[in-house]
Amino acid sequence: MTSKWRLLNLSELPWIKTQSVYHAVSLIQDEFGTPNTLILTWPNQAYVCIGLHQIIDLSVELEYIKSNNLPYVRRATGGGSVYLDQNQVFYQIICKKEDYPLPLEDFYKTFLEPVVKTYREYAIPAEYTPINDIIADDRKISGNGAVSFGKSRVLVGNFIFDFPALEMSKILKVPDEKFRDKIAKSLTERMGSFTYFLDPVPTKNEVVETYLEYFQKILDIEFYHGTLSDEELEKMSEIEKLYSTKEWVYYVEKKGDELLQQKIKSGTYFSFRNKKFPGGLVQIFLNSEKGRIKEIIISGDFTISPPYILPEIELELVGKRLDEEVLLKVLLGLYSTLNIETPGITPMQIAGMIVEIYEKTRK
C-alpha cells in the first residue's frame, strides 16, 4: 500500500539550519510520532561539517578554518569531516523505525536506490557500494550518514554538483604540510560530480524533481507538501544553541575536558592507532595499567546507532582485562542489550584492535 510522506522542499537555508532541521524533525518525530518526512535543502554559504564521533583537533585544521572565517559545526550523524557549499543539494530522510524495521546497512541500500537512479537518469554510471557510498567510474559522487533518535531514524546525503577539492584539502588535518598537495590531488582523482561527468550540468531543481519521481516510484510513496511545525522550529532554535556550546563542539573529548584534550594533543598519556574497516575509520586512544584498561576513547569516521552510545561503551570497558575474549564478551553484551549497530565494523574487530594497541605498546 502506498505510504504518504511529508515533503519539505526548503531550497536554500542559512548554513546552520541545513544541519539543525533534520536533527529537530527527527527528535520531534521520536517524541510525537510526526509524519515520515523528506527534506531537500542546500546552504547559503560554505561551511565545515565535522562527524559526530570525530576528535576535532585531530580531524580538521581549526586555525585555518577560524582565520578564514569559515563557520564549522559538529553534526548529529557519523562520518568524516567535509567542506559543504552551495554546489550541493542535501536530501534528509526522517522516518519511523517501525515503518522500516531494517538493519542499518539494508536501510542505507533501500533509501539510496533513488539517488542511484537519479544519477543514472543523467547518464552517470552510479552504483551503490556498502556501507553508505555511491560511486561512478570509481569516483565517489555522494556521501551519506545515518543515525537513530529513539523511534526515529535519519539518513542524510548529498548530490554533488561541483566538488571543492582544493578547499576540502585545506580544512583537513594532515601530519605535515607537504601532504596538502597530495591530498588535493587524491581528492580530485577520487571524487566525482555532475560537473565532472556532464556539460551542460542540470539545474538543482531539475535534479530534485527527478529524485522525487524516483523516490516515490521505488519506495511506493506519495508526497504531500508540508511546512515545519511550531514545535520543530522551536526545537531547531534549541539545537542551534546547543551546536555553539563547548560541550557539543568537544563532544568526543569528554564534553570539553581541557586536561583530556591536552593529553590527546601531546600523546603523552595514550597509545593511539587508526584502523580502516569496511564501515569506516576507527581511532582508539588507550591508557592501560597492569594489563587493564584505565582510560579509552573511541572516535573516528563511522556510523554507530544509537548515536551517543560511545561514552557508555568506553565506561563499560574501563577496568577490563586486556584480553580479546574478555573484551569481546563485554562488547557483545552491550551490542545485544543496547541494540547497537556499527555496520561494517564488528565487536570482534574492535576488541582485536584494542588488544593489538596494548600489545604493541608493551613491545
Residue (of 40, 17, 16) closest to 226 by Cα position: 40
| Residue 200 DSSP label | S
- Following DSSP, what letter does each residue of 81-94 receive, concatenated? -EEE-TTEEEEEEE
Q: Could you tell me which residues are beta bridge partners of residue 7?
A: 38, 225
- Please say if the pLDDT value at position 266 is more than 80: no
Residue-level pLDDT at 1? 83
Indicate if 301 and 209 belong to the same structural domain: no
- Please say if the pLDDT value at position 337 is more than 60: yes
pTM above 0.85, yes or no: yes
Phi/psi class of residue 205: alpha, beta or left (left: φ > 0; alpha: ψ in -120 to 50)? alpha
pLDDT-derived band at 264 (thresholds 50, 70, 90) equals: low
Indicate if 308 and 230 belong to the same structural domain: no
Indicate if 204 and 317 belong to the same structural domain: no
Indicate if 185 and 235 belong to the same structural domain: yes
Q: What is the mean pLDDT of residues 234-262?
A: 80
Indicate if 162 and 232 belong to the same structural domain: yes
Residue (of 251, 277, 304, 244) closest to 54 by Cα position: 251
Q: Residue 17 carries which side chain, given as an amino acid letter?
A: K
Residue-level pLDDT at 256? 44
Q: Could you tell me which residues are beta bridge partners of residue 300?
A: 282
> Which residue has cell 556499527?
342
Please give the tally of structural domains in the chain: 2
Indicate if 172 and 217 belong to the same structural domain: yes
Cell numbers placing 211:
529524485
Instruction: Answer yes or no: are the C-beta atoms of 326 and 246 closer than 8 Å.
Output: no
Residue 288 parent element (H or E): strand 280-289
Rounded to whole angstroms, how far apart are CA atoms 146 and 217? 22
Residue-level pLDDT at 176? 77
Rounded to whole angstroms, how far apart are CA atoms 181 and 141? 21
Report the chain's mean pLDDT, rounded to a whole number: 93
Indicate if 268 and 237 belong to the same structural domain: no
Indicate if 294 and 213 belong to the same structural domain: no
Expressed as residue numbers, the domain containing 235 is 3-249
Which one of 198, 214, 249 terminates a domain?
249
* Cβ neighbour number for residue 135 with a 10 Å cutoff: 19
Q: What is the mean pLDDT of residues 248-273?
A: 64
Which one of 249, 283, 306 terminates a domain?
249
Residue-level pLDDT at 363? 62
**For the segment 174-198, what is each residue's pLDDT rounded down to a tens digit?**
877 878 889 999 999 999 999 999 9
Query: Which CATH number do you get for residue 7?
Result: 3.30.930.10
Residue-level pLDDT at 361? 76
Phi, psi for residue 176 in degrees, rounded to 5: -155, 145
- Please say if the pLDDT value at position 294 is more than 70: yes
Indicate if 213 and 346 belong to the same structural domain: no
Q: Which residues of 85-120 are buried (b: 16+ CB within 10 A; e: fewer)?
A: bebbbbbbbbbbbeebeeebbebbbebbbbbbbbbe
Residue-level pLDDT at 270? 66
Could you check whether the bond before residue 103 is cis, i.e. omega within 30 degrees of 0? no
**For the segment 46-100, what is each residue's pLDDT rounded down to a tens digit?**
999 999 999 998 899 999 999 999 999 999 999 999 999 999 999 999 999 999 9
Instruction: Tell me what percent of the residues of the chain surpass a pLDDT of 70.
Output: 95
Which one of 230, 249, 268 terminates a domain?
249
Phi, psi for residue 50 in degrees, rounded to 5: -105, 135
Q: Which residues of 283-320 are buried (b: 16+ CB within 10 A; e: fewer)?
A: bbbbebeeeebebbbbbbbbbbbebebbeebbebbeeb
Q: What is the mean pLDDT of residues 295-316?
A: 94
Largest Cα separation within the chain, whole Å, is 64
Query: Which CATH number do you get for residue 351?
Result: 3.30.390.50
What HEC string does 112-159 produce?
HHHHHHHHHHCCCCEEEECCCEEEECCEEEEEEEEEEECCEEEEEEEE
Indicate if 303 and 163 belong to the same structural domain: no
Indicate if 349 and 221 belong to the same structural domain: no
Indicate if 284 and 184 belong to the same structural domain: no
